[in-house]
């Protein structure tokens, strides 16, 4: 990245697109302080996390839920244990309350009664949904999604899109979503704002409708190649 400038709109579903290797996932890791920029600033609720120590950044991270590309479940833990880990490790929430939250979040992602299953017993789509339930367990202000539909079939991808939209609409106060994706369907289906990264910068930033109508040659080339690839599959 070489001078990324982007404002994430609060309470909106913000989608980030671009070719592989353009820095989309790297941007997410900067937002939560997993990576630190060489220069510049990253403001979360007006606070610059680049000037914070590790303990301060850790506190800021409690505002976030993160759905990793591979779901990143702990294989040695059950579904329920995976979902409740942040509550067990970072809060004084009683076990009975944690169990209620696990049940509630599994219901939200349409996986009721799976608390005792192990990750090895889950399909790819189920793993993503458990990952989403874990991201939601602490009722975060912000949810970051890193390629949430990658590797999934079209029907399962649509299910994940619907869940992300449900989460965005049902949380109170309204959650701010940041979705990194290659899936243009996701952009048009649930995005409020879309930013396209190219050559280390934010090349386009606007609404999905503005993206659809733009005549920018770089954006058009990306969209047309994405459509061609989808048509081949």
HSE-CB at 95 with a 13 A cutoff on CA atoms is 1
**By C-alpha distance, which of 93, 94, 87, 192 is closest to 135?**
87
CATH for 1-63+140-233? 3.40.50.300
Mean pLDDT, 10 residues at a time, the chain of 233 residues: 90 92 88 92 94 92 88 93 92 93 92 95 91 91 90 85 84 84 89 93 95 95 74 52
For residues 67 and 146, the answer to whether their CB atoms sit within 8 Å is yes
Q: How many residues does the chain have?
A: 233
Residue 231: the pLDDT is: 52
**Residue 163 has what pLDDT?**
86
Delimiting residues of CATH 3.40.50.300 domain(s) in the chain: 1-63+140-233
pLDDT recorded at residue 200: 87
Distance CA 116, CA 100 (A): 14
- Scan for tokens 């952009």, then name that residue: 187
pLDDT at 119: 94
Per-residue model confidence (pLDDT) at position 53: 93
Residue 143 pLDDT? 93
Stated pTM of the model = 0.88
Query: Looking at residue 151, what is its pLDDT?
Result: 81
- 8 A C-beta contact, residue 111 and residue 133: yes
At 60, which helix (H) or strand (E)?
helix 54-61
Per-residue DSSP letter, 51: G
Q: Report pLDDT for 225.
A: 78
């Amino acid at each position: 990245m070489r001078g990324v400038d982007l404002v994430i709109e609060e309470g909106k579903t913000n989608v980030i697109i671009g070719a592989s290797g353009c820095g989309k996932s790297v941007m997410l890791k900067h937002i939560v302080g997993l990576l630190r920029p060489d220069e510049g600033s990253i403001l979360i609720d007006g606070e610059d996390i680049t000037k914070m120590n590790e303990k301060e950044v850790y506190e800021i991270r409690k505002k976030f839920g993160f759905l990793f590309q591979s779901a990143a479940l702990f294989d040695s833990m059950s579904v329920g244990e995976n979902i409740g880990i942040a509550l067990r490790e970072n809060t004084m929430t009683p076990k009975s309350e944690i169990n209620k939250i696990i049940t509630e979040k599994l219901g939200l992602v349409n996986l009721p009664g799976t608390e005792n299953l192990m990750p090895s017993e889950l399909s790819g789509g189920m793993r993503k949904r458990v990952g989403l339930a874990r991201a939601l367990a602490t009722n975060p202000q912000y949810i970051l999604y890193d390629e949430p539909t990658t590797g999934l079939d079209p029907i399962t991808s649509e299910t994940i899109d619907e869940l992300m939209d449900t989460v965005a609409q049902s949380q109170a106060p309204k959650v701010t979503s940041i979705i990194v994706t290659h899936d243009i369907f996701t952009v048009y289906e649930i995005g409020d704002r879309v930013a396209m990264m190219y050559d280390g910068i934010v090349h386009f930033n606007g609404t999905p409708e503005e993206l659809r109508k733009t005549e920018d040659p770089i954006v058009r080339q990306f969209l047309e190649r994405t459509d061609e690839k989808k048509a081949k599959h």
